[in-house]
């Protein structure tokens, strides 16, 4: 059938050509007209799949999202991958959303390198086909990934690009704004925007609706098994909606924790009362969720730092003790950080902090090998404190470990020789 035959007396040949090339989207009336002449359903014409197949694919996407947010991200990655294969080239929109889900699942697994590759491919696709994917969420996700990977310059460039888009649109609410604020505070850039988001939205009180979310998810699976796909999609949407406030509260709390830490580290002009309020609010959010113990401990360490900086040593000691209680089963850098702040408090009292410093060092030595910026920062802090305690050799050793944690190996032939850095 030629374009002229398809156009018939109702449409122009050029309009049909624009639709075929993707430069125009047909109205519902035109789509029905074209579908009738082509002998297919409107759904097949617009999306390349029949209605039942499409709703089943949409359901698969939602169940994969639920697996990502409330289940196993490894399973989620597999499910998103299956949807990409099933969608094929004829269903570009569904395939793009499934690839985005898979990138997020890789990110959630801590597979940062593979996540970066996936997000970069999606950004190229978004540039070529803006009707499929939005660039802004991808840019924000990449900003955080590059920061975790240690490429701070690239992370800051992406953060600045995302911030320019958001400021042009003029919004400080919603998931994208909160995600961007978290990315920016981690790169320590765009802080005025972060402050606006925290001022406008604060750290919302959180309620653990996990049981409700899981119940709706199970009901959706049961409905799908009974071949009631429409109901299954609705229940899956309800499950995702039930979990959304908690996800938003946790992201806001992470932003508040980072903001409090940055404030405590400032040399002057720090609003310690505001930092104390944010860190306290963050700790209350994390306390609601049993799976957020690590973040809960980090927020309490931040609170202890703020209180120590404000000259409230006793309150700082209480927060540090609470952090150690929360992190009792953890042996990573976060727990070492709690011992480090305890050492700072002890030293502020002119007491011997060697026991806390030794415990922090033992915990850091037990950390798994591999590049880890959090571990590197803890080693550096430990070196500072060993130096304050007068142990120069242990200070040098801690600094060497800090460099190694970010991929730089240090050879020191003798204790008085200059360090030679090798990669």
- For 189-209, the pLDDT digits (tens) are 999 999 999 999 889 988 999
Q: Where is the domain boundary, 191, 214, 237? A: 214
Residue 360, classified by CB atoms within 10 Å of its CB into exposed (0-12), middle (13-18) or buried (19+), is: buried
**Least confident stretch, 21-30, 236-245, 270-279:** 21-30
Could you tell me which residue, 152 or 410, shows the higher pLDDT?
Answer: 152
Percent of the chain residues past pLDDT 90, beyond the cut? 68
**Percentages helix, strand, coil for the chain, rounded to the nearest 5?**
75, 0, 25
64-73 pLDDT, tens digit per residue, is 999 999 999 9
Torsional class of 362: left (φ above 0), alpha (ψ -120 to 50), beta (otherwise)? alpha
Residue-level pLDDT at 51:
55
Residues 6+ apart with CB under 8 A from 245: 204, 206, 207, 209
Q: Where is the domain boundary, 163, 182, 214? A: 214
Could you tell me which residue, 161 or 375, shows the higher pLDDT?
Answer: 161
Could you tell me which residue, 223 or 5, shows the higher pLDDT?
Answer: 223
The secondary structure of 256-301 as a DSSP string is HHHHHHHHHH-SSS--HHHHHHHHHHHHHHHHH-GGGHHHHHHHHH
Residue 39 has pLDDT above 80, yes or no: no
With respect to residue 19, please indicate whether it lies within any of the assigned structural domains: yes
**Same structural domain, 209 and 127:** yes
With respect to residue 282, please indicate whether it lies within any of the assigned structural domains: no
Reduced to 3 states, what is the DSSP secondary structure of residue 181? Answer: helix
- Measured at the alpha carbon of residue 384, what is the angle toward residues 379 and 388, in degrees to the nearest 5? 140
Residue-level pLDDT at 163:
97
With respect to residue 395, please indicate whether it lies within any of the assigned structural domains: no
Residue among 173, 185, 102 nearest 143 (CA): 185
**Same structural domain, 174 and 79:** yes
With respect to residue 57, please indicate whether it lies within any of the assigned structural domains: yes
CB atoms within 10 A of CB 235: 23
Q: How far is CA 417 from CA 120, 223, 412, 414, in A?
A: 43, 71, 6, 5
338-381 pLDDT, tens digit per residue, is 999 999 999 999 999 999 999 999 999 988 666 678 888 999 99
Provide the domain limits for residue 148: 51-214
With respect to residue 203, please indicate whether it lies within any of the assigned structural domains: yes
């Amino acid at each position: 059938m030629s374009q002229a035959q398809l156009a018939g007396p109702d449409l122009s040949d050029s309009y049909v050509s624009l639709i075929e090339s993707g430069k125009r989207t047909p109205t519902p009336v035109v789509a029905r007209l074209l579908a009738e002449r082509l002998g297919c359903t409107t759904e097949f014409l617009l999306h390349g799949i029949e209605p039942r197949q499409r709703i089943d694919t949409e359901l698969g996407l939602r169940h994969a999202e639920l697996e990502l947010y409330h289940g196993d991200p490894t399973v989620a990655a597999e499910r998103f991958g299956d949807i990409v294969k099933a969608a094929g080239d004829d269903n570009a929109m569904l395939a793009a959303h499934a690839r985005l889900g898979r990138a997020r699942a890789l990110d959630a697994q801590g597979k940062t390198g593979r996540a970066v590759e996936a997000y970069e491919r999606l950004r190229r696709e978004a540039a070529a086909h803006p009707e499929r994917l939005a660039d802004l969420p991808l840019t924000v996700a990449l900003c955080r990934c590059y920061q975790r990977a240690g490429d701070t310059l690239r992370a800051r460039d992406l953060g600045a690009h995302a911030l320019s888009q958001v400021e042009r649109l003029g919004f400080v609410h919603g998931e994208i704004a909160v995600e961007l604020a978290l990315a920016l505070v981690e790169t320590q850039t765009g802080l005025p925007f972060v402050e606006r988001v925290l001022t406008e939205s604060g750290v919302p009180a959180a309620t653990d609706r996990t049981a409700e979310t899981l119940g709706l998810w199970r009901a959706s699976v049961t409905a799908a098994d009974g071949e009631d796909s429409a109901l299954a999609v609705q229940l899956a949407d309800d499950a995702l909606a039930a979990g959304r406030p908690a996800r938003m509260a946790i992201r806001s709390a992470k932003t508040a924790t980072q903001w409090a830490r940055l404030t405590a580290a400032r040399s002057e002009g720090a609003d310690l009362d505001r930092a104390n309020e944010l860190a306290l609010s963050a700790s209350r959010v994390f306390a609601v969720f049993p799976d957020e113990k690590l973040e809960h401990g980090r927020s309490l360490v931040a609170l202890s730092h703020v209180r120590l900086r404000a000259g409230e040593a006793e309150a700082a000691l209480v927060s540090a003790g609470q952090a150690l209680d929360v992190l009792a089963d953890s042996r990573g850098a976060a727990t070492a950080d709690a011992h480090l702040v305890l050492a700072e408090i002890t030293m502020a009292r002119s007491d011997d902090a060697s026991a806390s410093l030794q415990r922090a060092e033992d915990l850091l030595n037990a950390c798994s090998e591999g590049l880890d910026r959090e571990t590197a920062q803890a080693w550096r802090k430990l070196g500072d404190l060993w130096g304050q305690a007068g142990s120069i050799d242990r200070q040098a050793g801690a600094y060497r470990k800090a460099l190694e944690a970010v991929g730089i190996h240090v050879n020191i032939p003798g204790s008085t020789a200059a360090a030679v850095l090798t990669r």
